[in-house]
Amino acid sequence: MNADDFKLFLEKVPLLRKWQYVFLTILYVISLIAISVLFFYFVNKVEWWGPLLSQAIMCVIVCIIGLIHFSYALIYRKKYQDLAYQRFLYVFILPYLVAWYACFFHPAFIKGSKILPIWAQVILIVFCVFLFVSTSIQIEKSGFSMMTHGMDLFTVFPEETGIVRGKIYSFIRHPLHLALFSGGLAMGFVSNTWIALVAATFQIIPCVVIGLREDRELIARSGEEHKEYIKRSAFMFPIRRLPGFLKLLFLGK
């Protein structure tokens, strides 16, 4: 994140220039987190399959909020104009992000019988964390800012940015989803139970659903250009160009 990104974010959410609203926003986020924790706690206690059910439901919630927020972006823009994103943030984006990161961290807290020896567990955690961190770094280097793009600011104001397609985006269209999926798997390996690992893979559901919706949105914005980009890039896993992709992640070039 750079100063310009932070300045633009505050320009779109002027409430956060006042400490009182920063405090209330933090309380709001904590409340959303608490609701998520209580949801997981009570559903997970139902039966052995409770963690799978709660993870599946939360993934569906992520998909629903994610799909709806695309549909309402233009409505909010027309209704609230310059303050559209400020309202959008509290109604859609913060619940969306909390729900997704609830899916991300949940597998780490699922208990059960261990399935891997500790040496294998550590190796897999390190690999998944490396993939998460390295992918996130390359996303930022490509021009995708977590403070603006990552907070879906440009869903409301698309004309204020270009479409990011360079560097890691030349290999895959949704590297952020790959990072989240990899990190979620790391959480599953932290728990080291088969239920946790299966629950961690459920995160592929919002990755695919939201990724496909993002592609539709970008086709609407850039037409044939994005259709051609889809043909020459992978969705999340660059199987055909794997050597080049791994070189980028491991060597940074």
Q: Would you give per-residue pLDDT tens digits along the chain (253 residues)?
A: 578 889 999 999 999 999 999 999 999 999 999 999 999 999 999 999 999 999 999 999 999 999 999 989 989 999 999 999 999 999 999 999 999 999 999 999 999 999 999 999 999 999 999 999 999 999 999 988 888 888 999 889 888 877 777 889 999 999 999 999 999 999 999 999 999 999 999 999 999 999 999 999 888 888 888 899 899 899 999 988 899 999 999 888 7
Find residue 234's DSSP bridge partners.
Answer: 172
Nearest to 82 by CA among 153, 33, 152: 153
Q: Where along the chain do its domains lie?
A: 3-251
For the entire predicted model, the pTM comes to: 0.93
Residue type, 251: L
The span from the CA of 106 to the CA of 210, in Å, is 20
The span from the CA of 165 to the CA of 52, in Å, is 35
Nearest to 178 by CA among 137, 231, 124, 219: 137
How distant, in Å, are the alpha carbons of 96, 103, 193, 201 from that of 188?
A: 21, 11, 7, 9
